[in-house]
Amino acid sequence: MKKSILSLLVMLFAFGSFAQQLSGSTSTYFEIRKYYANEGKLDDLIKRFEDHTMSLFEKNGMENVAYFLPTDNTDNSLTYILGYPDENSRDRMWAKFANDPEWQKAKKESEVNGGLVKAVDQTFMKLAQGLNDTPMQQESGVFQLRVYTCLDGRLNNLIARFKDHTQDLFEKQGLRNYPYWVTVEKDGSQPKLVYLLADKDQESFEKNFQNFIKDPAWVKAKDASEADGKIVEKVDAVFLKTLPFSPMK
């Protein structure tokens, strides 16, 4: 019984913390979807999201979290994040959406001159415990989506370092912490840490991130955390800008 109460309190804390980042959010399961548009179809895809898809997601119980384009869009892509009440509801909500007559009509009309989407990448996630208690941020001009792949068994060490040091040291340099997640790996492999870091513009971000890397406090924290071995195998990062209709700014 005590364990159940503790688990409930942890979940409520996570909800409240994330709600600071995105007012009113109660989602516990998330999905990053990256759409690669067919040649010449990206603008049509964006318009379909703005005019139809977003409202139909909400109608079918999903939460629109954020919509982005890469600052250097060499792969003709759009990335967005959806939230769901829980993992079990995800497939049910997508089935409702896919079979919604309004969606079928909007999709058909938008594809009169050809399909809009060439391919889709998906990443499933849950909130990273202890990393989402930062206050709601002001609007940001640029985001960086950062994905950390850890060495085997080292994810908890990475999360502890972020909680105890990294997030505060980001803020010290003027960088803005947005939500943090851990991936849900369907093959049972170790989850990755995924988060959004932001600043007023890319020039400021790059300057402030370099200041973070050179900060003696960061160097000390990093060295101490790796006394028993390295933690991170690799980091993937991409700069993004929100679309005008994105709930997260």
> Residue 125 is encoded by which pair of tokens?
């996630």
**Phi-psi group of 174: left, alpha or beta (phi > 0 → left; psi -120 to 50 → alpha; rest → beta):** left
Q: How many CB atoms lie within 10 A of CB 30?
A: 25
Quote the CA–CA distance of 58 and 85 in Å, as a whole number. 12
* Distance, first Cα to last Cα, the chain: 40
Rounded to an integer, the average pLDDT of 36-40 is: 98
Classified as helix, coil or strand, 195 is: strand
Q: Per-residue pLDDT tens for 11-34?
A: 444 444 444 455 567 899 999 999
* Tens of pLDDT, residues 171-228: 999 999 999 999 999 899 999 999 999 999 999 999 999 999 999 999 999 999 999 9
What topology is assigned to 128-242 in CATH?
A: Alpha-Beta Plaits (3.30.70)
The whole-number average pLDDT for the span 1-17 is: 44
Q: Which of 82, 27, 25, 20 is nearest to 57 (CA)?
A: 82
Show the tokens assigned to 57: 């997601």
- Can you tell me which residue has the tokens 């890319």? 202
Torsion angle of the four alpha carbons 196, 64, 182, 242, in this order, in degrees rounded to the nearest 10: -20
Architecture field, domain 25-126: 2-Layer Sandwich (3.30)
| Spatial distance between the Cα atoms of 73 and 70, rounded to a whole number of angstroms | 5
pLDDT of residue 72: 96
Asked if residue 7 has pLDDT above 80, the reply is no
Over 80: is that where the pLDDT of 105 sits?
Answer: yes
Average pLDDT over residues 120-131: 97
DSSP 71: S
Q: Which residues contact 200 (CB under 8 A, 6 or more apart)?
A: 140, 141, 142
- The two tokens of residue 110 are 């938008």
Residue 149: partners with Cβ closer than 8 Å, 6 or more residues away: 192, 232, 233, 234, 235, 236
Q: What is the pLDDT of residue 22?
A: 56
* Residue spans in the chain of domains classed CATH 3.30.70.100: 25-126, 128-242
What amino acid is encoded at 230 in this protein?
Answer: K
Pull the structure tokens for residue 20. Answer: 């600071």
In terms of Cα–Cα distance, which of 32, 35, 28, 38 is closest to 49?
A: 35
